[in-house]
Amino acid sequence: MSLTQAELIKLAIKSAFSQDWEKAVEFNSQILDQDDKNLDALLRLSFAYLQLQDYNKARKYYKEVLDLDPINSIALEKMKLVKERKTEEFIIPDNDSLLKESGTSIELNLDILTKGITSDKFKFDEDLLFKINGKTISIHKDDIKQSLLNYLPEQYVKYFLKVKELKGEITLKYIGGKDKKIKVLITSSEAVFPSEKQEIKPYLKGVNESEMPEMTELTSDNDEDAKRLLEGEEAANENPDQN
């Protein structure tokens, strides 16, 4: 049975995080079989070939990116490496257009609110739970009562409800962290999240990935409502409403 594009996206992202570049080539190629103008998949495929030191194919697919988006800063920057026949150390940055599928995935930093839970309690790619309760979405580890991590901003409720309306699926994964801080990857089968891609405007030519806006960060320090929500959540202990 053939995989859906949403399933292939998840596998492509997972392959990149685990640096299994041959698998990354396989899954991104399958995405392109379904959508040959998918810029995100083209960028991931190009980068995978760059890591495999297959510079001819890396050049081929970066050129396809630039044919679709002549001022794509990522492709322009990586083409320099291709011409010099160089690779680069793969580091997972906070803002990485290589790994994010526009509109269908987003990364968030969270502070863990519950005492006794730290990042060493998680495994890479571990599924997380979420609960929609009115205007809040709480994120949990492996049980609702004892493992509250944090809350998503109010505006995320509409994205989650939209996916539910479209009968789609949302998954949450733990992808990294340290101490009380964790990084979560949210992936949707529907393109409901705000696009993080650059607009096609001349003045963006030459913009580096490092100059892109910082990734959304949620912390107990800057979310005063989280503490009040935590108290209400512990009191309610309702069953999760998950997709």
- pLDDT of 19 strictly over 60: yes
Predicted local confidence at residue 33, as pLDDT: 93
Place of tokens 């698998």: 23
pLDDT confidence of 92, banded at 50, 70, 90?
very low
Predicted local confidence at residue 200, as pLDDT: 27
- Summary mean pLDDT of the chain: 75
- pLDDT of 163 strictly over 80: yes
Predicted local confidence at residue 209, as pLDDT: 36
For the stretch 177-231, pLDDT in tens is 888 988 888 888 887 877 544 332 222 222 233 333 333 334 334 344 544 555 5
- List of residues 6+ apart from 194 with CB closer than 8 A: 103, 106
Provide CATH code, domain 5-83: 1.25.40.10
Does residue 102 or residue 87 have the better pLDDT?
Answer: 87
Does residue 18 or residue 121 have the better pLDDT?
Answer: 121
Q: Where are the beta strands (DSSP E) in the chain?
A: 105-111, 126-133, 136-140, 148-152, 170-178, 181-188, 217-218
For the stretch 93-143, pLDDT in tens is 433 444 444 567 777 888 999 988 998 888 877 899 999 887 889 999 987
* DSSP code string of 81-102: HHHTT--------SS-TTTPPT
d(CA 195, CA 101): 9
| Residues 143, 145, 147, 148, CA torsion sign | positive
The 3-state DSSP class for residue 18 equals coil
The domain locations on the chain are 5-83, 105-236
Predicted local confidence at residue 64, as pLDDT: 93
Q: What are the structure tokens assigned to 90, written together? A: 């793969």
CB 42 within 8 A of CB 33: no
Length of the chain as a residue count: 243
Predicted local confidence at residue 80, as pLDDT: 87
